[in-house]
Structures are given as structure tokens and as C-alpha cells.
């Protein structure tokens, strides 16, 4: 990859061979090739992520570790010669205590490996017969609503096979539907094999829910599902936790347009994690990919016609609290209409394509951009998909009607299995994957910052609601997300 990029740079700079007609130089191609080369040869994000994962056990928003990690990142960004803005916001910190799930059937009592999920009530002592609802789409909860009262609902956290054009509900939506049906608790079945227990929130607004939620390992969940088919199984749920008010800060770096502009492109990645691991994959690889793009921007100073904001979000894991706060601040300052495009980077490296996040009109543009990326010597497959992500920082922007793109990539299977678990460690990260991520993102960002007309316009409120109805995601309208 680097050899092809260097050959391309040589041809561009030196021109054609003797005796051949001299082709006019393409300044944009020269600039993009320099970006690709600088990211290949001078990459710092990989080593910096390794140090962060070693120094901080986690980066949970509102915790002491999270605050120290924020400060560490700010100091390193400052070494690039940029002005760094910290944007503080209040946040509720939920800290888990003990968890117990025990099932009873045929006179037997069997403990299950389980972990309480974030914003479960602070003191839990409950029991109920287990009812297996399966995947847990909205229609499943509607169909079985009369059977769920006083039950403990067993449900997949993700479907094995997703329905086409229907978004898989977030775990917090499934919890709320069970709560509305007067269930006594929810047991989620992990998606991946093995005994690892992930964590995650069951509240979209960083506040306590009314009934407890636990995650079971894949094996324990499938065994329980088999038992429930032929037995009356009662689950005894017990848990403790504490919650406190704290503060976290988004970290922002701004690059103004060469002339005053009322259009801004935001590129963001969440820097926070849960409390179980340093979050190398979720989302160290995304956040530190931005670090090197900022470095290259300071070196090459592209002549952009739109403002650019780089954002390292905190509070994503608790429900996109930081990015929602950013949107609220833009509204308060009367600048929300200036937000014209958002690029989100979450758990992506080894980049192979783009996710249009519900904006079909981006397909042609992204396809042509992918060809341009390939022409620069990068190993890029130019894949596309079109969905909206229900559990990342795309949501606050989408709910403002801002066009959103996410990059896609392919990581080793172990990296996905480590999601929200204690295994999300630095050994899972490959430097070459991070470099490719930064290269593709830099090219996309540059194109959006300089092109005459953006490839998609903002949605109106009516268009947002129509899209959510089409994809059975109207639940998002129940939450503020900066609106």
C-alpha cells in the first residue's frame, strides 16, 4: 500500500516520462497523496492509544479515570499546536455493586453467571417466572403483552439474523417495553459465544429505570431458553449499585474555513468507555484515528471552504450525553443550522466502505469517492450499506436532520466478542488498520470541506419522522437528543 502511494506521489510530482506530453498537475491529488503518505509514515495514534490503555483502567465518563484520560488527551492535542476547547456537561455516574441471578425449577436452585446493566435500580430484590420472548422486536412485546405481567423476560440482546429494513431495537427500548408490560425484570442473552459478560446501559437518558436488567453469557442464556420450553422456571434477581452526579467534557478542535462560512462539518468519535476495560476497540481506535488527522491538518493546512470541528465525545456509553449536549449548545448559540454534515467513527478500523445512515441519496457520491480513494493506492473495497445506528453519536445529529456518514470496517472476530467486556484491550488493535481508517476519513473529510455543494441536504422534521416510521424506529422521538 505505501509503495503504491509513493509511486503515485513520484509520478505526480515529477510529471510524465521524457518525450511524453506533460499532464497538468492536479493540486488536490498532490495534497491527498501527501495526506496519505504522512499518515502512513508518521502515525502517532497507535502508540498513543497503547499508552492510554496502559495508564487508565477505563475512561468511564464522570469517573476519576475518565477525567484523567480527558486531561491526558487534551495535553497531547496541544502538542500539535491546536487550540483545544473543553465543553463540560453534567452526567449521572452509575456504579455497579453485586449481582445475582438464580433460577429455580423442579426443586433445583442454580446460579447463573450474570451482570447487572447500567441504570438498573440501586437495590434489587425480585423474582418472577421466566418468559422467553425471543429476539424482542416491538411486535413481539405487543403480541405477548398480556403474558408479561410479573414475569422476568428472557430476550436476545441482538438478533442472530436482522430483519431487512427494520432496525434492531436497542436494549433500552426492550427494557422499556417490558417495563410498560409490568414485567419484573429482563434477562438479556449475549450475542457472542463464551462466558464473557458485557455491560451497557438500559436507559437512554442516564437515569434509573424501574425494573432490573441483567446480561447472561451466551451459553447460560441458551441453556435457560431450553429449560423454559419444558419447565416452569423462576428467576430470583438481586443487585446493588450507587449513583452520583458528576461532570465530563467533550474535547473539541476547530479549523475555520479560509473565508468566513456559516457551514460546518463535524467529525466525531467517542472517547469514553465503560468501567470494565480500557476500551481499545470501543472506541480507542476511533478516537485516536482523529488524532492523526488533526496532526495532518496542522501540517498541510488544506484550503477548506467550510468550518471543521473535530469532536472527542464523552458520555456516549450512557446515552450519547456528550454529543446531545453539543447539539443543545449549538441550538442555544443560534448555530444549529450551520451543521451541514456529520462523520461518525465508532469501533471502526481496517476501513472497507461507508454507511449512509438512512440517506440513500449519498450512494452515488460515496461510490465515486471510494474510487478516488482506491486511485490513491489504498486497499479499500468501496462497500456500502444504508441503516441508522441506534446506539452511537449519530443519533443527536440525525434527529436534527443533519446528513450522517459512518465508515465501515472488518476487525478480527475476537475484537467484536470483546465488546463492552473486560477483554477490550490493546492487544486487539492493529496499527495498519488504524492507519487505513485515518487515511479514508481524511480523504472524506477533505472532500466534504472543499466541495462546492454537499451531496445531501438536511432533513426537515417531517422527513425525520417519516424516515423513522418507515424503519420502525419511532421510539427515538421519545428522547430529547438535543431537540
Q: Which CATH number belongs to the domain containing residue 126 in this structure?
A: 3.50.30.30
* Arithmetic mean of pLDDT, 265-294: 98
374 with 301, same domain? Answer: yes
What is the CATH number for 272? 3.40.630.10
Determine, yes or no, domain membership for 406: yes
Same domain, 97 and 218: yes
**Of 210, 244, 278, the domain-final residue:** 244
Three cell numbers written together for 158: 441482538
Q: Is 1 or 367 the better-scoring residue by pLDDT?
A: 367
Shared domain for 413 and 342, answered yes or no, is: yes
Q: Are residues 255 and 387 in the same domain?
A: yes
Please give the pLDDT value at position 165.
64
Residue 1 lies in a domain: no
DSSP code at position 284: I
DSSP letter at 223?
A: H
Q: Tell whether 443 and 319 lie within a shared domain.
A: yes
Strand partners, 101: 112, 237
In our burial notation (b when 16+ CB lie closer than 10 A, e otherwise), range 391-416 reads bbbbbbbbbbbbbbbbbbbbbeeebe
- The pTM of this model reads 0.93
| Last residue in a domain, options 244, 263, 280 | 244
Name the DSSP letter for residue 283. I
pLDDT digits (tens, 9 = 90+) for 320-350: 999 999 999 999 999 999 999 999 999 999 9
- Domain match, 136 and 278 both: no
Residue 346 lies in a domain: yes
- Specify whether 63 is located in the same domain as 182: no
Residue at a domain's end among 244, 270, 291:
244
314 and 447 housed in the same domain: yes
* pLDDT for position 472: 75
Do 285 and 298 belong to one domain? yes
Q: Which pLDDT band holds residue 169 (cuts at 50, 70, 90)?
A: confident
Of 162, 190, 188, which Cα lies nearest the Cα of 174?
Answer: 188
Residues 261 and 360 placed together within one structural domain of the fold: yes
- Please choose, from the candidates 292, 367, 306, 211, the residue with its C-alpha nearest in 3D space to the C-alpha of residue 46: 292
* 46 in any annotated domain: yes
Residue 159 has pLDDT above 90, yes or no: no
Burial class from Cβ neighbours inside 10 Å (0-12, 13-18, 19+) for residue 14 reads: exposed
Looking at the structure of the chain, the number of domains it has is 2
Same domain, 60 and 207: no
Q: Identify whether residues 81 and 121 lie together within a single domain.
A: no
Is 321 within a domain? Answer: yes
Nearest to 430 by CA among 440, 415, 416: 415
Q: What's the domain range around 447? A: 6-92+245-478
- With respect to residue 483, please indicate whether it lies within any of the assigned structural domains: no
Residue 22: pLDDT band (50, 70, 90) is low
pLDDT band at 373 (very low <50, low <70, confident <90, very high): very high
- CA-to-CA distance for 72 and 312, rounded, in angstroms? 13
Q: How far is it, in rounded angstroms, from Cα 233 to Cα 210?
A: 23
Amino acid at each position: 500500500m505505501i509503495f503504491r502511494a509513493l509511486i503515485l506521489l513520484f509520478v505526480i510530482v515529477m510529471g510524465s516520462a521524457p518525450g511524453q506530453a506533460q499532464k497538468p498537475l492536479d493540486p488536490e491529488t498532490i495534497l491527498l497523496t501527501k495526506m496519505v503518505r504522512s499518515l502512513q509514515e508518521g502515525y502517532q495514534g497507535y502508540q498513543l492509544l497503547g499508552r492510554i490503555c496502559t495508564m487508565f483502567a477505563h475512561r468511564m465518563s464522570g469517573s476519576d479515570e475518565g477525567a484523567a484520560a480527558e486531561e491526558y488527551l487534551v495535553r497531547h492535542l496541544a502538542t500539535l499546536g491546536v487550540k483545544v476547547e473543553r465543553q463540560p456537561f453534567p452526567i449521572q455516574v452509575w456504579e455497579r455493586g453485586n449481582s445475582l441471578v438464580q433460577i429455580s425449577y423442579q426443586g433445583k436452585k442454580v446460579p447463573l453467571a450474570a451482570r447487572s446493566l447500567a441504570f438498573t435500580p440501586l437495590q434489587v430484590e425480585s423474582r418472577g417466572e421466566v418468559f422467553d420472548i425471543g429476539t424482542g422486536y416491538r411486535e413481539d412485546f405487543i403480541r405477548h403483552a398480556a403474558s408479561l405481567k410479573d414475569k422476568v423476560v428472557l430476550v436476545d440482546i441482538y438478533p442472530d439474523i436482522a430483519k431487512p429494513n427494520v432496525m434492531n431495537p436497542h436494549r433500552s427500548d426492550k427494557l422499556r417495553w417490558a417495563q410498560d408490560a409490568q414485567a419484573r425484570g429482563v434477562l438479556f442473552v449475549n450475542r457472542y459465544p463464551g462466558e464473557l459478560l458485557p455491560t451497557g446501559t438500559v436507559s437512554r437518558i442516564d437515569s434509573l429505570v424501574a425494573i432490573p436488567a441483567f446480561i447472561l453469557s451466551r451459553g447460560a442464556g441458551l441453556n435457560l431458553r431450553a429449560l423454559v420450553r419444558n419447565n416452569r422456571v423462576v428467576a430470583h434477581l438481586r443487585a446493588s449499585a450507587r449513583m452520583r452526579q458528576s461532570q465530563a467534557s467533550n474535547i473539541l478542535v476547530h479549523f475555520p474555513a479560509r473565508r468566513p462560512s456559516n457551514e460546518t462539518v463535524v467529525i466525531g468519535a467517542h472517547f469514553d468507555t465503560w468501567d470494565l476495560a480500557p476500551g481499545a476497540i470501543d472506541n480507542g481506535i476511533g478516537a485516536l484515528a482523529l488524532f492523526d488527522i488533526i496532526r495532518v491538518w496542522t501540517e498541510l493546512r488544506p484550503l477548506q471552504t467550510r468550518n471543521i470541528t473535530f469532536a472527542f465525545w464523552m458520555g456516549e456509553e450512557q446515552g450519547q450525553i456528550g454529543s446531545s449536549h453539543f447539539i443543545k449548545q449549538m441550538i442555544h448559540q443560534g448555530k444549529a443550522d450551520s451543521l451541514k454534515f456529520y462523520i461518525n467513527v465508532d469501533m471502526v478500523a481496517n476501513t472497507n466502505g461507508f454507511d449512509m445512515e438512512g440517506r440513500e441519496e449519498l450512494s452515488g457520491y460515496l461510490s465515486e469517492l471510494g474510487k478516488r480513494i482506491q486511485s490513491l493506492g489504498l486497499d479499500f473495497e468501496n462497500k456500502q450499506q444504508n441503516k441508522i445506528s441506534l446506539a452511537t453519536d449519530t443519533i443527536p445529529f440525525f434527529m436534527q436532520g443533519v446528513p450522517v456518514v459512518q465508515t465501515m470496517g472488518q476487525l478480527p472476530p475476537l475484537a467484536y466478542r470483546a465488546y463492552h467486556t473486560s477483554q477490550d484491550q490493546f492487544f486487539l488493535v492493529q496499527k495498519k488498520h488504524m492507519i487505513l481508517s485515518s487515511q479514508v476519513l481524511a480523504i472524506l473529510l477533505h472532500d466534504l470541506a472543499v466541495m462546492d455543494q454537499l451531496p445531501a441536504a438536511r432533513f426537515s422534521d417531517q422527513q425525520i419522522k417519516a424516515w423513522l416510521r418507515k424503519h420502525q424506529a419511532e421510539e427515538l422521538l421519545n428522547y430529547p437528543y438535543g431537540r
